[in-house]
Every structure is written in C-alpha cells, then in structure tokens.
Amino acid sequence: MAEFPQSGSILSLIPQLGLSTRIVIKVGSTAVGAVQELTINQQRDIIRHEEIGTDGVVDSHPRKAAQVSITINRLVFDQLRLPEAFGRGFINLQAQRLPFDVQVIDRFAGTNDLAAVHTYHNCWFGRYTQPYRADNYIISETADITCEYATAMQNGRSVPTGGLRGIPVEFDSIERSTDLHGRRGRLDSSGFRTVGSRTF
C-alpha cells in the first residue's frame, strides 16, 4: 500500500471512505427504515474573555452544557408514520410522556463486531412536520429530536483509535469516560462521584 507523502493517508484498492450504506438506525431493537436523511447536531457555546487595551483573549471555555439534537427526514413507508417507525405508540407530539434512545450503528470497519455504536439518550420529539404537496405525491415527514446526551463505543471501548493510520490521539481519562458513559452532572467531570447521599 502506498501513502500520500504529505498526509500519510493510505492509498489502496479497498475503499476507505465512510459510506452511508454502512449505517443502521435503531430505536431499541427496531431498525428504522425509509430514512432519507439523518443529521446529528452537536453544539456548545464557547465564551471568550477579552482584555481591554491589549485587544487580546485572556481565556476561553464552554459557557454551558453541549446541546445534542437529531433532525430526521423519513418517507411514510410500511404504513408507519414517523413516531410509529421509532416504536412510539402515538402520532401527536403532545402525547409523548417517555423519552427514548436512538442508536446509529456505523459499520465502517467492515464487521458488526467492530461497528461504532453512537447512542443518543433520552430523546424527545421537539418538532414534527407532515407536509402535503401538490407537485409531489410522496409524503415525507420531518422531525427535530432533542437528546440529553450522547455516547459512543466500539467493541466496548472508546471509538477514537487513530484509524488505519494509527494517528496517536491524546488520552484524557475524563474525556474517554464521558465519551463512553456520558456526562450526567454532579461534577462528574471533575472527578467527584456520588453514592447515595455521599460525595467523595
């Protein structure tokens, strides 16, 4: 196998691209079919502390928790409306009482055993649109879903491994733990742990 001289990327006859055909979307044990588009949105506001007189930035840090959401577009297929396809027992959003988890299984490594599993926890429908158009008979529905937090793992371990190139990734135990298990508050990222009413 050859390598690109500037970046070290591997050049071979085997496709190295991440392809959408290797993606499975699941809610619980049910695969969601007829999905036309799935967009994962993760956003965190960063505040910068600037100094008067020097036009410099003294420090910067996140100002609040990361916001995780999903936007999905799906054909009305298999006689299933979009909430039904997600295993929900309702059609109208006002009926939702319980959150759900969405799994995006990425088999980019080629086998199910090595698939990267991205889980979006405690999801709620925030917007659900059902357009009917005169110029297109096919009904396609869209929903915006808000999630509490996201986790990712590959074969029970953290997903970042450096890829085929073996790029050395920075290791931080808190970052790895948060990626695998999520962040649930109570100063967990600072090393505090709560058992019952005791924090230590």
Q: What is the mean pLDDT of residues 146-165?
A: 84
Half-sphere exposure of 129 (CA within 13 A, CB side): 9
- Residue with the larger pLDDT of the pair 155 and 67: 67
The pTM of this model reads 0.84
pLDDT at 142 over 90: yes
Q: What is the mean pLDDT of residues 150-163?
A: 83
Distance CA 171, CA 39 (A): 28
Break the chain into its structural domains and give their ranges. 19-46+54-190
- Residue with the larger pLDDT of the pair 186 and 69: 69
Residue 124 carries which side chain, given as an amino acid letter? W
| The pLDDT of residue 195 | 46
Residue 179's pLDDT band, with cuts at 50, 70 and 90, is confident
Q: Which two tokens stand for residue 32?
A: 């969601």
| The pLDDT of residue 181 | 84
| The pLDDT of residue 196 | 46
Cα end-to-end distance, the chain, whole Å: 52
Half-sphere exposure of 97 (CA within 13 A, CB side): 3
pLDDT tens digit string along 22-51? Answer: 899 999 999 999 999 999 999 999 999 999
Contact between 74 and 85 under an 8 Å Cβ cutoff? The reply is yes
In CATH terms, 19-46+54-190 corresponds, of 1.10.10, 3.40.1710, 3.30.70, 2.30.110, to 2.30.110
